Amino acid sequence: MSTLIRPALSLLLLMSLITGVAYPLVVTGVAQVAFPAQANGSLIVDAAGKVRGSTLIAQDFTGDAWFHPRPSAGAFATVASGASNFSPSNPALATRVIDAAGKLQVPGQGPVPLALLTTSASGLDPHLPPAAIAYQLARVAAARNLPISTLQQLLDVNIQQPLVGPPVVNVLALNLALEKL
């Protein structure tokens, strides 16, 4: 019996050290050398050295003077991230979307873009389509007493084209640029 248990325990210990200690340390070391910004959370740091957020996680902005991200099912908390799990046929989803559309509707601008009404799968998606940002231009311009053309130029500069998919705008990066105006 001990002839079977001893090799099994030795192999378990060896594999635990390799897969639980050595491999994670090697991967962390390679990531820190090759991709330090991404390995440390893709943090955005201001000129004073203060961390303002991450390019990977949405933040809530309130008030008319800021561009708003898409809604979050988890109140922008990374611990509780996740979708609302409402199916398209769920009346609660329809009620929430209709209520949000009523609050965000701007007369004469057409329907509210869907990205401003629905949550992402994680509840923390930091990006919006340029059309969803453009829908907010008039509100932000009025609140900041700026011409819409100035904000349109800011939007144009902040449009990102990912390797795959449509163009997007990082709302945090856009609001930080807006703050510098």
What is the arithmetic mean of pLDDT over 156-166?
A: 91
**Can you give the residue ranges of every domain in the chain?**
2-38, 47-180
Q: For residue 56, what pLDDT is reported?
A: 78
Lowest mean pLDDT, pick from 6-10, 47-51, 147-151, 159-163 = 47-51
- The yes-or-no verdict on residue 82 having pLDDT over 70 is no
CA distance to 20, 42, 124, 130, 156, per residue, from 161 (Å) = 37, 18, 19, 11, 11
Collect all residues with Cβ–Cβ distance below 8 Å to 6 and sequence separation of at least 6.
Answer: none
Contact 139, 106 (CB under 8 A): yes
- The yes-or-no verdict on residue 76 having pLDDT over 80 is no
Please tell me the pTM assigned to this model. 0.73
- Give 155-174 as a 3 state SS string: HHHCEECCCCCCCEEEHHHH
Alpha helices in the chain, H assignment, sequence order: 2-17, 23-34, 36-39, 91-104, 130-134, 137-144, 148-157, 171-180
What is the arithmetic mean of pLDDT over 110-134?
A: 83
Percent of the chain with pLDDT over 90: 30
CA distance to 1, 9, 12, 136, 143, per residue, from 6 (Å) = 9, 5, 10, 67, 73
Residues 45-71: tens digit of each pLDDT: 877 888 877 777 778 888 888 998 888
Collect all residues with Cβ–Cβ distance below 8 Å to 156 and sequence separation of at least 6.
Answer: none
The residue among 118 and 18 whose pLDDT is bigger is: 18
Residues 84-113: tens digit of each pLDDT: 667 778 888 888 888 888 888 888 888 888
Q: CA-CA distance, 73 to 65, in Å (whole number)?
A: 23
What is the arithmetic mean of pLDDT over 157-181?
A: 90
